[in-house]
Amino acid sequence: MNRTEAKQDATDSRIKSLEAELERERMRSIVLEKMIDVAGRELGVDIRKKFGAKQSRK
> pLDDT 10s per residue in the chain (58 long)?
788 999 999 999 999 999 999 999 999 999 999 999 999 999 988 888 777 767 666 6
Q: Write down the pLDDT at residue 51.
A: 78
Q: What is the C-alpha to C-alpha distance for residues 44 and 23, in angstroms, rounded to an integer?
A: 31
Domain ranges of the chain: 1-43
Report how far apart, in Å, the C-alpha atoms of 48 and of each of 6, 23, 25, 51, 52 are.
Answer: 47, 24, 20, 9, 12
The CB-side HSE value for 8 (13 A sphere, CA atoms) comes to 5
